Structure 1
Amino acid sequence: METSFLSATILLILITDPLGNIPLFITALKQVKPERRKHVVLRECLIAFTVLLIFMFFGRDFLEVMHLTDESVRIAGGVILFLIAIKMIFPGEGSVFGGDHMHSEPFIVPIAIPLILAPSAMATVLLMSTREPTRMLEWVGALTLCMLVTTVVFLFSGKLQKLLGEQAITALERLMGLVLTAIAIEMLLGGIASYIRQFH
């Protein structure tokens, strides 16, 4: 499946799921003073962006050190995306915070990791960079655009939640989960097909 700049951007936005994470994000910032929230959002998004860039540029070296093939990363990425998508469509009880209550300003956890920087996001940028390293500028652009969207959504999370309402946000998350399921299956089948072709 040929991945374009637009499809890569949309995929990354679906994976980071900023709209679906609005309620969790607001919960994480409950104990943060209003005047500090913008600073926290920018800091956490920058941390997530930096880590994803590191994965993107040094992903191939990481695979070589760990003796992992592109096919294994594609299959693993497909499985992770599928699990994330299923959880988006059929959310269970509990939260991404593991039941802990936030009593101080969040730092890295839980906003940068795992709200933005989920394993599926790391697997996706790793896959992009290893499959088509010659298009690295496109992937960096797609990641940058995705992080800008995430930052804007988080900055205006309170207003968006009031404007759309929880039901609309939930419906959007279900729709994103459905699209992400199809992408995950496509990635999984592509990895399996590529692995099988090695023996022919």
Structure 2
Amino acid sequence: MSFEVTKILLAFLVLINPLAALSLYLDLTADLSGRERRRVAKICSMSVFVIMVVVTLTGQLILRALGISIGAFQIAGGVLVFLISLSLIGGNANPAKPEVSKQASDLNINKPSDLTSIAVVPLAMPMIIGPGGISTVMIYASSSKGYLHTLAILAATLIISLICYFTLCAAATVSQVLGETGMKILNRVMGLLLAAIAVEIIVAGIKTLFPHIG
């Protein structure tokens, strides 16, 4: 069980990568107080958790409703994840997460509901959990081998949400420590790990479609 949680957590952490949203978070919260920044981080992390839980619990139902086999979705999702990994290794922007650059002043943040809005969109979605992250959650959920495996996914989801919260709360410090060079190096390392995860997903999809191979 602990191994499953660790494996799924690594996949989520590498693909979702809350560090990629730090610059946008700092821009959006530049004129906010410390309390308001923590509120944005909390709402954003809770949104990520809710999105991942909903996808986990409804992933199989969605695929069945659309008539998509688990194997086909694994291969398609694996290819998407692999393309994302190549972009990270090459130092390019994540193609599954659009470039968003908005200042807090442009969004006219002056009441609590505005804080909720920017925490959910664009921070939680699509900057932290975009199409690649949602696809990966659906892949693991749809290939669940039982309730223990589903619990492992939910446990990893909770942990990644907490990591998102603490990362955003320490955004200024993390950005200063890593710097632009550190972020580039980290993205390349994550890209390499993501490529390995993508290959595993594709191979699992091929074995699902063609069981006689494995």
Tell me which residue corresponds to 2:50: 50
Structure 1 residue 165: Cα displacement: 2.0
Partner AA of 1:156 in structure 2? A
Distance 1:28 1:73, change over 3 A: farther
Tell me which residue corresponds to 1:6: 6
Tell me which residue corresponds to 1:162: 176
| Paired positions, count | 198
Within the candidate set 187, 190, 197, 1:176 is matched to 190
Larger CA deviation: 78-87 vs 47-56: 78-87
Q: Which consecutive unaligned segments of at least 5 residues does structure 1 have?
A: none
Larger CA deviation: 136-145 vs 83-92: 83-92
Separation (CA, whole Å) in 2 of partners of 1:31 and 1:94: 27
Q: Is the 8 A contact 1:13 1:150 kept in 2?
A: no
Within the candidate set 187, 190, 205, 1:191 is matched to 205
Q: How does 1:1-200 map onto structure 2 within 5 Å?
A: 4-92=4-92, 96=97, 98=99, 101-102=102-103, 103-104=106-107, 105=109, 106-132=118-144, 133-134=146-147, 135-197=149-211
- Alpha-carbon RMSD across the aligned residues, in angstroms, is 2.4
Q: Which consecutive unaligned segments of at least 5 residues does structure 2 have?
A: 110-117
Separation (CA, whole Å) in 1 of partners of 2:78 and 2:58: 21
Separation (CA, whole Å) in 1 of partners of 2:76 and 2:65: 17
Distance 1:108 1:190, change over 3 A: same
Separation (CA, whole Å) in 1 of partners of 2:150 and 2:64: 18
Distance 1:167 1:77, change over 3 A: same
Partner AA of 1:141 in structure 2? A
Give me the TM-score of the superposition, normalised by structure 2.
0.82
Q: Is the 8 A contact 1:20 1:172 kept in 2?
A: no
SS state at 2:210 partner: helix
Separation (CA, whole Å) in 1 of partners of 2:124 and 2:12: 15
Q: Deviations over 1:126-150 (max 9, x none)?
A: 1222212422111110111111111
Q: Deviations over 1:71-119 (max 9, x none)?
A: 0221121012112212222244799554653412424221011112211
Question: Which 4+ residue blocks in structure 1 deviate beyond 6 angstroms?
Answer: none
Separation (CA, whole Å) in 2 of partners of 1:167 and 1:12: 23
Partner AA of 1:154 in structure 2? L
Separation (CA, whole Å) in 2 of partners of 1:55 and 1:107: 19
